[in-house]
Amino acid sequence: MASAEAVAAVVEAGGAHVPGLMRDLEERLATIAQSHGPTLGEHAGATIAAGGKRLRPLLVFVAAGPDPAGRDAALRAAVAVELVHSATLVHDDVLDAAVLRRGRPTVVASAGRSIATATGDLLFSRAFAELAGGGTVDPVRVLSDASSALVQGELLQREDAWKLQTTRERYLRRCDLKTARLFRAACELGALAGGGKVALLGEFGERIGLAFQILDDVLDVSGPAERTGKHRGTDLLDGTVTLPLILARERDPELERLDLRAVRTPEQAEGVCDAIAATGALGAAREEALAMVADAKADLPCLPEPSQQAALELVADSVVDRYS
């Protein structure tokens, strides 16, 4: 999803409050990055910039709705959610010894493990400080639960690495923990800020978060590299078993016997991607994700504001659009 397009579409649908908030978000993130000395300023800034599309803050703003009374709380929540997201990216990069993220050098590559770990810890701390400044405690509970889930999801992924027999259920649990729970938190925090339906919006967020992760995993197999900015099959090279491979394994006996540890070069990984695609598993995985998005949208008519419903539908569609 290109943020500018999604934001424009959301604004069109009745989210006139969103562009101002998105600008304030960037300003606030930049200020936070610069507030802890030059070293952290440089690297926290780079990490926040690498976060990219600001999909989670957008969810907060749309879930909060246009009431000016909730503006400050929505902005704090959006900042906090993006800081937690950025913190996990920088720690993931440390663990993966990643060199590039979105075409820029990672903090761990440019400044080393110490500074990268410290940068992540600082961003975590500032996320909670941001929420505390709002004066109510419920948002802190929501975000700390989501960030605990994130860590558990990350760990589950590492525990299951290289396990070809990973089940669909276990894969979905991992996606829920490492991705969907923060989407849920973004929507719940927006609902808390705007006085909206917390449970309904949270459920919506969790479903589109799950769809987002599945589609991201499909994209890693389907490519092409020009669109994702990386080779196909990076998950395979990390030993991460995702839904396309889980579904393909059931359809192709060759893949059922695959030795994941023998997949070592980008060329070998692309070969396995081709074998997965040949089974039709990519379309099947995409269908699962689209069904989740449809489920997510199905509850929205219960919202009192038609304009909020329309804006949320557009955000849900934008999760899907990048793969159409």
CB 115 to its own copies: min, Å:
7
> Do the Cβ atoms of 257 and 249 come closer than 8 Å?
no
Measure the N-to-C terminal CA separation of the chain; round to a whole number of Å.
Answer: 11
- Answer yes or no whether residue 165 interacts with its own copies by CB under 8 A: no
- Answer yes or no whether residue 145 interacts with its own copies by CB under 8 A: yes
Peptide bond into 224 cis (omega under 30): yes
Which of these ranges, 9-17, 147-155, 184-192, 307-315, lies near its own copies under the rule CB under 8 A?
147-155
Q: In the chain, what is the greatest distance between 2 CA atoms, to the nearest angstrom?
A: 59
Going by C-beta distance under 8 Å and a sequence separation of 6 or more, which residues neighbour residue 121? Answer: 87
Q: Residue 135 to residues 72, 124, 130, 185, 255: CA-CA distances in angstroms? A: 11, 18, 10, 18, 54
Of 53-72, binders to its own copies (CB under 8 A) are none
How many residues form the binding site for its own copies (CB under 8 A)?
Answer: 45
- Answer yes or no whether residue 141 interacts with its own copies by CB under 8 A: yes
CB 303 to its own copies: min, Å:
27
- Answer yes or no whether residue 51 interacts with its own copies by CB under 8 A: no
Q: Which of 137, 199, 225, 298 binds its own copies (CB under 8 A)?
A: 137
Counting beta carbons within 10 angstroms of the beta carbon of residue 159, is it exposed (0 to 12), middle (13 to 18) or buried (19 or more)?
exposed
C-alpha–C-alpha distance, residues 61 and 78, integer Å: 7
- Answer yes or no whether residue 298 interacts with its own copies by CB under 8 A: no
C-alpha–C-alpha distance, residues 110 and 7, integer Å: 32
Site string for its own copies, 85-124 (x = CB under 8 A): --xx--x--xx-----------------xxx-xx-xxx-x
Q: Interface with its own copies by CB under 8 A: which residues?
A: 36-37, 39-40, 87-88, 91, 94-95, 113-115, 117-118, 120-122, 124-126, 128-129, 131-138, 140-141, 143-145, 147-148, 150-152, 154-156, 158-159
